[in-house]
Homo-oligomer: A and B are copies of this chain.
């Protein structure tokens, strides 16, 4: 009989696993509550009007068009029956499995301050990006209509909380938006007067990078007009602004880039979790006492050889997907299991501005334009399909040469009462 592998989540880990897992007598079902795989490393560029939504998202079923052994289902998983080996979907469907792989990712989290979410949206899904995009653009629009100078200043202050790569990258593009892209288009406000704050509770930005690169990034951001505030945490967040330590800063647009919380997948299968809700897994990425259930990607708490947590980045997720494919194949062919999963860190990358980036490969460290080109080519290489590569390359070429961004749309309806 056919061995049924069910993969929940079509992110980097799930997709890589399905791609690698091509075996006779094996069928794969991918379940995702969205119809698309999202290229999250570039999501911040959708949030900041550089890229269009469809340039970094592809229907999961289109990726597996030629693979008759792969079935894609759009559905929201609500639970797993580990005894009967059934995945329950919202709406009543139950999908049977022989091997289950949970790759359901993470959401942004507010360290117990969930009441901040309406004022400080995070960035994980496509709708998060269009929400942030709408707020960014609306702030300038409202400022153009506003006559009170104080209210206008609050509208033209943008705060990004958290200075990992995503926070740094967003601060850089927002600075470019205010100082270059929008500057000729407003009549009542001077967009170059916009304040962009990058707030980090820790002692420095880009903490996982080498100190020299982190300092370089800070100087670069400062030269672009970004105020970098390190060493004090955000203590409050309201519709009117944020508090950094004791200081209140009026800021009507706040973006959250500080913390993540794993999906509830660990709860479905009764796995032990760490503080961020990640399932603590065995060395082969299975759940304790459930060798037929794997947890991978941002939902899994996996340690490196040095005892550090494997970071929640795309290459780590892909490596785990690849590894689980090997384990499942070995089992089906009744060969001995591969050795424990070992994470190989390739490096850290972050863009700072329109033509600057920092890359930390450990021994090799790069910064500036050369790093930006490597960053850009690497990201284009990892996109799915020629079509997307051409579209993203065109969008970047356009933004780079003209300074104009091609996806400056305000869409969606707003729930906050004060929005236009």
A188 to B70 CA separation, bound complex (whole angstroms): 11
In the complex formed, the residue of B with least CB distance to A402 is B387
Quick check: B411 and A53 within 8 Å, CB to CB?
A: yes
The stretch that binds B, out of A179-187, A197-205, A261-269, A340-348, is A179-187
Residues of B close to A411: CB separation below 8 A: 53, 126-127, 130
Interface membership of A91, Cβ < 8 A? yes
Number of A residues whose C-beta is below 8 Å from B? 57
Choose one: B188, B391, B420; the contact of A74 (CB below 8 Å): B420
The stretch that binds B, out of A55-63, A233-241, A277-285, A310-318, is A55-63
A74 to B388 CA separation, bound complex (whole angstroms): 32
Quick check: B409 and A412 within 8 Å, CB to CB?
A: no
Choose one: B68, B74, B141, B404; the contact of A187 (CB below 8 Å): B68
Quick check: B185 and A62 within 8 Å, CB to CB?
A: yes
Q: Which of A57-84 contact B (CB under 8 A)?
A: 57, 59, 61-62, 64-66, 68, 71-76
A55 to B33 CA separation, bound complex (whole angstroms): 27
In the complex formed, the residue of B with least CB distance to A138 is B74
Choose one: B33, B54, B93, B410; the contact of A52 (CB below 8 Å): B54
Known contacts A34-B410, A408-B35, A408-B59; A184/B66 CB under 8 A = yes
Besides A35-B410, A74-B138, 19 other CB < 8 A contacts? A33-B420, A36-B408, A36-B410, A52-B54, A53-B409, A59-B185, A59-B409, A61-B185, A68-B187, A71-B187, A72-B185, A73-B144, A91-B420, A93-B145, A126-B411, A127-B412, A387-B398, A390-B394, A412-B412
Give me the 6 closest cross-chain CB pairs, A-B, nearest first.
A74-B141, A54-B407, A61-B185, A52-B54, A71-B187, A35-B410
Residues of A within 8 A of B (CB): 33-36, 52-55, 57, 59, 61-62, 64-66, 68, 71-76, 89-91, 93, 126-127, 130, 137-138, 141-142, 144-145, 184-188, 387-388, 390-391, 394, 398, 402, 404, 406-413, 420
